[in-house]
Structure 1
Amino acid sequence: MFRILLIEDDVTLFAEVKDRLSQWSYEVYGITDFAKVMEDFNEVKPDLVIIDIQLPKFDGFHWCRMIRAQSKVPIIFLSSRDHPTDMVMSMQLGADDFVQKPFHFEVLIAKIQAILRRVYNYSLEQTEKKTWCNATLDYETNTVANENGTIELTKNEAFILRLLVEHKNKIVSRDTLIEHLWNDSRFISDNTLTVNVNRLRKRLDEIGIGRFIETKVGQGYIAIDEELS
């Protein structure tokens, strides 16, 4: 049974989401003190975190930073605001998805299921290592290593890179990436994928290989495989 930490101060919404998720056999936990969210996080040890942006004491972005400082647990943001910058900020901070209030519960559960299936199924099944551009991709630890160092990727970053490398030197369409990442492309902004790919490139730049993820305008992305001297 997966454990979900729901960081939401609206008691009515919290109760409704908890009740609905419990029907899907998820264990849902709330926050006892919104000034000490990390204490509940460390006690619950959740498999997934859902965070509202507008919270007492500190906003959801603050707690996302705190969680990402110590964990790669998947994170979904909730927001009643419709500012595109909120979605961009959440993805830049390492969130896995973004849901705008009010939302259909079926959309939320679909996103939760897709993320849990991707994160935990692939972490169990994809234990082999791959070589790309003289770098070693370890699917078990979500790391990429070469002579310039080792970087750790988020679940989304690792998943995008895995899809691209498995189809190296071939274009992977944006629609294919979105459907594999978020299960239902109807509810995903195209900009969400762009933010995730740009973040992946930036991480790969740290070990000198970000340039080998190329954008094909109007088509998708391609992982160029080259032997580097």
Structure 2
Amino acid sequence: MYKLLIVEDEMNIANTLKNHLEKYNYDCNIVVDFERVLDVFQDFQPHLVIMDINLPAFDGYYWCRKIRQVSNCPIMILSARMSELDQVYGIENGADDFITKPFFMDVVLAKINGQIRRIYGEYAEDSQTRILTKGNTTLNLDTVRLSTPEHEVLLTIKELQLCSMLLEAFPNVVTRQQLLTVIWDEETFVEENTLTVNIVRLRKKLETIHSSLEISTIRGIGYQLTEKKL
């Protein structure tokens, strides 16, 4: 079942969307705390976000940018403000599509179905090259999710880059310098402790999904992804 996050402060609209979309087997969650949209997103791990622009505290463009820092999940803007400038600004902030208020439910459903098929289903491009698998663990580079047959977790962009490098090098060692050079812009100074922190987070997420993989520290060199010995 695909999960949809609805970020809309007009509760009658949010509930109408939820009630209608659930009839088509979508699992919908409505945000109620508009200062914690990113926290709700990371806890719920939706496959698609419906995002209003005029929101309390921070506007929808702000939350689009925040979500884009951690995920490539499709974002559909829901707004009465849909001039050409609004659409350009939405795209620049990470939106994938637009729903104009007032809207027809059939159009909303068609747009959602189209995004789901494009990203996760029959229309997904290069699906074979965008998925990395080792042991019981799969990394989907498009959805930014790390999963096993029973569990799934959303990664941040940094965790995604680290995980993909380690999987592609498996079972070889990746040096700290290689990770730092590829993941962070050379123009930006990053303390090596930042890499350590992200490795620790990735380790915890591998444990959370009961992965057969583990990250080993090779002292003085870097990190190695290996399968656990049973």
Which bracket does the TM-score occupy, shorter chain normalised?
Answer: 0.5 to 0.7
Match of 2:99 in 1: 99
What amino acid is the match of 2:128?
Answer: T
- The count of aligned residue pairs is 133
In structure 1, C-alpha distance between the alignment counterparts of 2:88 and 2:99, rounded to whole Å: 12
Runs of 5+ consecutive residues of structure 1 not aligned to the other structure: 130-139, 143-151, 153-229
Does the C-alpha gap of structure 1 residues 128 and 69 become closer, same or farther in structure 2, counting only changes over 3 Å?
A: closer
What amino acid is the match of 2:63?
Answer: W
Superposition pairs of residues 1-229 of structure 1, within 5 angstroms:
1-121=1-121, 122-123=123-124, 126-128=127-129, 141=141
What is the Cα deviation at residue 32 of structure 1? 2.8
Instruction: Give the match's secondary structure for 2:72.
Output: coil
What amino acid is the match of 1:11?
Answer: M
What is the Cα deviation at residue 27 of structure 1? 0.7
In structure 1, C-alpha distance between the alignment counterparts of 2:129 and 2:65, rounded to whole Å: 30
Among the aligned pairs, what percent are the same residue?
A: 38
Match of 1:210 in 2: none
What is the Cα deviation at residue 39 of structure 1? 1.1
What amino acid is the match of 1:67?
Answer: I
User: Residue deviations 1:159-215, cap 9 Å, x none?
Assistant: xxxxxxxxxxxxxxxxxxxxxxxxxxxxxxxxxxxxxxxxxxxxxxxxxxxxxxxxx
**Greater fraction helix:** 1
Does the C-alpha gap of structure 1 residues 118 and 56 become closer, same or farther in structure 2, counting only changes over 3 Å?
A: same
Task: Give runs of ≥4 in structure 1 deviating > 3 Å.
Answer: 122-125
Runs of 5+ consecutive residues of structure 2 not aligned to the other structure: 131-139, 143-156, 158-230
Instruction: Give the match's secondary structure for 1:102.
Output: coil
Instruction: Give the match's secondary structure for 2:77.
Output: strand
In structure 2, C-alpha distance between the alignment counterparts of 1:41 and 1:76, rounded to whole Å: 14
Q: Which moved more, 1:82-91 or 1:40-49?
A: 82-91
Contact 1:32/1:40, CA 8 A, preserved across alignment: no
Match of 2:200 in 1: none
Contact 1:64/1:93, CA 8 A, preserved across alignment: yes
Contact 1:9/1:55, CA 8 A, preserved across alignment: yes
In structure 2, C-alpha distance between the alignment counterparts of 1:43 and 1:96, rounded to whole Å: 22
Larger Rg: 2
User: Residue deviations 1:32-54, cap 9 Å, x none?
Assistant: 31011111111100000000000
Contact 2:9/2:32, CA 8 A, preserved across alignment: no
In structure 2, C-alpha distance between the alignment counterparts of 1:29 and 1:2, rounded to whole Å: 11
Instruction: Give the match's secondary structure for 2:103.
Output: coil
User: Residue deviations 1:77-134, cap 9 Å, x none?
Assistant: 01112422111111112211011100111111000000000100255973148xxxxx
In structure 2, C-alpha distance between the alignment counterparts of 1:12 and 1:50, rounded to whole Å: 15
In structure 1, C-alpha distance between the alignment counterparts of 2:94 and 2:70, rounded to whole Å: 12
